[in-house]
Structure 1
């Protein structure tokens, strides 16, 4: 069993194949954290609870016998508010008396196989990891604030084979009066030393996922979003990397929030040099009114522990996402290789042009044509018609059914673009329902990209959008939806919620989006859903639960894409990263394809304007897409050279789970002075012999990982923007 409880010591021990997590129910019901690190056999870890010495100025409970015990320094699983612990708190509630003292103590627990689904308020479902009874085991801790009657149920699901845990909290008001929940983090992690570096991704539109690493410092450090979506500025992911650890070795802890709204990861290092990490909903834009008997469920946080550095951490998260989070049938089903019309035509197209695109794309071996923005209402530019999801038959003569039949006749399936959460003021929907947009009473409305955000907290809004979508999707042979979201939320207010519940708006918005996505994916489970938010503006695990791929960035420059995709891979598997070959002139067609094949691969260009040479390259890339599909979608990723650090190269390698096959890729960002290049590989079986495809060279995995792969080039050598792939197969 991966979860054990010792009745003598009251210690809970949660073991994976590589890690141990331990805490105990101490005197007076305090839930004290003990250990998180490499797997250990020890059963009694209670001596690890004390850090430093007793401070006479620190408040303490006189009912606890040991005078060293003070919440001011004791590590906890659920630190409350104003209890003598002066660090950041994981939960805070304001009761009828007006104070915000929140003090929850251990009452009991249960352990059971498998993992339950997460349900939020009023039956809304939260995206969460899933597992069968033979895959995981769950511990649920019951805690109670005896004064207010507030209960908290802490959930820990252990994925033993993957070094992973899923954590969340359910809060219930069992008292006799209302409680205002002001802070409810999903996870608290206490560590005994600040000997860690913090690693996370920041960015902006077209420059997402820039990786930064810096030491933990005394005080509070945080990453967060208050955009209403996760946003491109900070991803809801953080890693803690032990000093001296790197890509391939050392301890790493990965923290990923399964959520698509305002989030926060806060880290406070106290005066003893001990970090406390909290992850979950951003408390600065959140409150929740709980009447007696009402329940609030937090989103889920996934953590993984690795002794193989950042690379091992990433591969554990990738496997967890692919096997236990991304539930679409397309996660493990071969996906069509598509061409998208946006960069080729923008808004300027008709049915005949799209059929011409399809005809030429079929000659390249493409499987699907995606009609992007501009097919509905009076949508001839971005100032109008969002929200009017009726087919524009001036563009698509004969209607969408005729167009799809013509595209299908060319041998391609058909996909379509939507932006369901948005509306233009210049639209029939806005004119009919101006009250449906998000706005604060008495405030001017902001526009971004000439659009407003629909209030997805309201069922009538979601019903209207779903019914419009159903009229098109339900009556036509549509196999793919690109779900876009091109602005964030400002002037947040809700016309329906009472004053005391306005702080619930942002979370209710996300729940509404999830409900609409749940309806779409369950009504049409055959559809491949791809998420997009001005590129990677909502690239998060919550979206992956519904869509097995997300458009990584609007920036399709293959050199810029290196840091974007490698950064995303810290947390997210390559199989979910939308990546296309476009007409960007910076590199040749070969490199564009080699970069795109790290992700989902597709095309974002005008096939009618391609040269014969480009068409031949495209045909080769289509062949490679099929040849390497299992490697690129299910293989283990090894980041070999960091493009943000190395001035010349970006190298990565994908290795099949059985280690029978590997694909190495090098992109030359800047021509090096030295043309003698050896690159050590990773992840191979040292006992196997591997053949370098296209040569007579056969080397052991041990040699390829110790001496490396010879990438030397004769003069004049590789040019800026050139690339090479090397395919290895076991003999």
Structure 2
């Protein structure tokens, strides 16, 4: 059993293969966090809950504030005397804040329930077990259910919260976070991922200090500025050693991840929906469901955390039938043409790409309405037949006649003021009465909290997709949410806008997939502004960044691959000089970096020299030969350019160690230096491996076979390379030479 309840000590113990998580209940019903870490046989409640330091009110009522100041709450509330960060803030009908929760009951069940309207992890009754703890505020009649779903094989615990108004008064929720954990500080640092458009998901570690350290987004999306992830690492933690406690949020809107170090050197970490701008009415009988937070612990460095999360997301969050399929190599014309195209130009690009081995053509922005630039047309989802002569069907048939699949770009959540939709329904945009709305990319955000807006957008888009028999859709979202006002919500409900927006977006994507269950679906938001676990529930891949420069992508893809399977990362080869940074990198390196993700090309291939087309044909062959290793393999970070190295190196190895692929990129060359040693991981130490150079110039002489233990301990020498050069090595276990 993964979950046990010990009635004599009032302790709940949750076990995965390598970890244990403990919850204790005091005699007067306070629910506390006992332990999370390496698997243990038993736990002590009184010491784990520090009851000898600050006795509970039942024992010493006059010092209740002292108890609240140090008790390690499993789910802390605001307004009752715990001045640390809270997870639940409740305002009564009289406008008075305060909530205090006490234990009432529990349930242990095989399997895992979902969440209404929200993405949620899943698993069979043999794969996952769930604990539900019922807590109550008897004064308010508020019922709170804490859910813990234990995925033992992946060393993952998924938490969520249901808040039900079981009383008679109308309540308002000022915050409902999804997870909290109190523990002693052990010199922790907070690991997060930060950035901006074009440089998303860069790793950064900060030593904790007393007070609150916040990772958050208030932009209506999970955002490129801060990723919905926080890791707490012990001193000296790296890829292979040290401890890390990690939380990742299955949600695609604003979020809060916060670590607070108290005056007693106790640490509280919380995660949930961004409280700023959130105020939810909860009428009697109504329930609010908070999104899920993913917890994992590793005593073997960040590498083990990564592999835990990769396995978990592959098996228990991504639903798409494409998650275990090799995806077609696509050609997207955007960076090659922008808005300057018509049907004949698109067909020429597709034909040239097909000759090089591309298998799917994707038509990007500009095919609808009066869309000759990004100043007009968004919201008018009818085909511009001046560009696409004969309509979408003629183009789609021409693409399929080349032997290619056909995909379409859409941006359903947005509207240009210069559009037929906005002129007919100006109140359908999110905006504040009496104020000129802020524009970004000359567009506004549609109020998709309203069903009539969702229907008005989705119906014409779905019609076009049916007409074209689309195989693929790229769903974009190119600005953040501001001017937060909805014409459809009353004055008491405006604080619900941001969360209702996310729920509306999820419903739209669910509708798309219901009509096209075999669709290859890719999410995007100004590049990687909505690369989060919530989106993976709907699409097996997400566009990682609008910056397609191979060297910039090294840092972006390193950050993303810490958490997500590499095949989730949309990654394309684009033209040089690169449109974002002007850098010129070799075609081989552009392909070797993009090959780590969901691979494709983004250029006007009709302008590509013939010698580069020959290289592309070879790259297509390599993709089909070696990309299954990325689909099924385990990821190991060998060296990191983000940590001031002059080179970058990662590998994937099949779980049984039979085959591996190593990618090495020399970011900057150096004069008069020797080779660099790298140390592979994930190999069979008792086997011998044949090593082949599959990408890169030349090829030094190597021994015909090397043993797995020698490779992992003595290393593999990589020769000095020039700026931006790269190599890919293929390692195959040689059974006949097995030791």
Scaled by the length of structure 1, the TM-score of the pair is 0.96
Indicate how the Cα distance of structure 1 residues 267 and 79 shifts in structure 2: closer, same or farther if over 3 A, else same: same
1:701 matches 2:708: yes
Match of 2:641 among 640, 643, 655: 643
2:33 aligned counterpart, secondary structure: strand
- The 1-side partners of 2:716 and 2:474 are apart by 40
Partner of 1:48: 48
Report if aligned partners of 1:60, 1:71 keep a CA contact under 8 Å in 2. no
Offset, 1:672? 2.8
1:475 aligned counterpart, secondary structure: helix
Match of 2:222 among 227, 230, 246: 230
Report if aligned partners of 1:34, 1:46 keep a CA contact under 8 Å in 2. no
1:537 matches 2:535: no
1:48-79 CA-partner distances (Å, limit 9, x unpaired): 11189449xxx945577999971210101111
Partner of 2:303: 311
1:13-65 CA-partner distances (Å, limit 9, x unpaired): 0011111100112111100111111111124444211189449xxx9455779
1:690 matches 2:682: no
Match of 1:721 among 708, 720, 724: 724
Partner of 2:81: 84
Partner of 1:483: 475
- The 1-side partners of 2:112 and 2:67 are apart by 34
Report if aligned partners of 2:666, 2:726 keep a CA contact under 8 Å in 1. yes
Match of 1:104 among 87, 91, 101: 101
1:357 matches 2:349: yes
Match of 1:427 among 419, 422, 425: 419
1:568 matches 2:557: no
Partner of 2:11: 11
- The 2-side partners of 1:510 and 1:68 are apart by 38
Partner of 1:172: 164
Match of 2:384 among 389, 392, 402: 392
- The 2-side partners of 1:558 and 1:279 are apart by 33
Partner of 1:122: none
Partner of 2:618: 620
Report if aligned partners of 2:159, 2:179 keep a CA contact under 8 Å in 1. yes
1:474 matches 2:473: no
- The 2-side partners of 1:165 and 1:67 are apart by 32
Indicate how the Cα distance of structure 1 residues 64 and 29 shifts in structure 2: closer, same or farther if over 3 A, else same: farther
Report if aligned partners of 1:27, 1:64 keep a CA contact under 8 Å in 2. no
Partner of 2:196: 204
Report if aligned partners of 2:46, 2:52 keep a CA contact under 8 Å in 1. no
Offset, 1:97? 3.1
What are structure 1's unaligned runs of at least 5 residues? 120-124
1:417 aligned counterpart, secondary structure: strand
Indicate how the Cα distance of structure 1 residues 67 and 175 shifts in structure 2: closer, same or farther if over 3 A, else same: closer
- The 1-side partners of 2:676 and 2:260 are apart by 44
- The 1-side partners of 2:376 and 2:617 are apart by 38
Partner of 2:718: 711
- The 2-side partners of 1:686 and 1:46 are apart by 45
- The 2-side partners of 1:174 and 1:189 are apart by 26
Partner of 1:611: 609
Aligned residues: 719
- The 1-side partners of 2:59 and 2:483 are apart by 48
- The 1-side partners of 2:460 and 2:141 are apart by 45
1:656 matches 2:654: yes
What are structure 2's unaligned runs of at least 5 residues? 578-583, 694-701, 735-739
- The 2-side partners of 1:440 and 1:231 are apart by 23
1:27 matches 2:27: yes
- The 2-side partners of 1:442 and 1:51 are apart by 56
Q: Which moved more, 1:694-703 or 1:187-196?
A: 694-703
- The 2-side partners of 1:726 and 1:693 are apart by 6
1:266-304 CA-partner distances (Å, limit 9, x unpaired): 111101111101100011121110110011000100011
Indicate how the Cα distance of structure 1 residues 303 and 293 shifts in structure 2: closer, same or farther if over 3 A, else same: same
Partner of 2:698: none
Following TM superposition, the consecutive aligned residue runs of length 4 or more in structure 1 with deviations greater than 3 angstroms are 43-46, 51-55, 59-69
Indicate how the Cα distance of structure 1 residues 489 and 393 shifts in structure 2: closer, same or farther if over 3 A, else same: same
Partner of 1:596: 594
Report if aligned partners of 2:201, 2:224 keep a CA contact under 8 Å in 1. yes
- The 1-side partners of 2:488 and 2:617 are apart by 55
Offset, 1:475? 2.3
2:28 aligned counterpart, secondary structure: helix
Q: Which moved more, 1:336-345 or 1:191-200?
A: 191-200
Scaled by the length of structure 2, the TM-score of the pair is 0.95
- The 2-side partners of 1:494 and 1:402 are apart by 40
Report if aligned partners of 1:83, 1:103 keep a CA contact under 8 Å in 2. yes
Report if aligned partners of 1:194, 1:274 keep a CA contact under 8 Å in 2. no
Partner of 2:679: 680
- The 1-side partners of 2:54 and 2:524 are apart by 52
2:222 aligned counterpart, secondary structure: coil
1:385 aligned counterpart, secondary structure: coil
Match of 1:670 among 668, 671, 684: 668
Report if aligned partners of 1:648, 1:668 keep a CA contact under 8 Å in 2. yes
1:645-673 CA-partner distances (Å, limit 9, x unpaired): 23310000111122110001110011134
Partner of 2:699: none
- The 1-side partners of 2:363 and 2:46 are apart by 61
1:131 matches 2:123: yes
Report if aligned partners of 1:421, 1:456 keep a CA contact under 8 Å in 2. yes
- The 1-side partners of 2:190 and 2:484 are apart by 32
Partner of 1:115: 112
Partner of 2:511: 519
Report if aligned partners of 2:9, 2:45 keep a CA contact under 8 Å in 1. no
Offset, 1:229? 0.8
1:515-536 CA-partner distances (Å, limit 9, x unpaired): 0000001110111111111110
Partner of 1:448: 440
Report if aligned partners of 1:555, 1:561 keep a CA contact under 8 Å in 2. yes
1:458-504 CA-partner distances (Å, limit 9, x unpaired): 00000111111121012222100000000011110111111111111
- The 2-side partners of 1:496 and 1:65 are apart by 49
- The 2-side partners of 1:195 and 1:502 are apart by 41
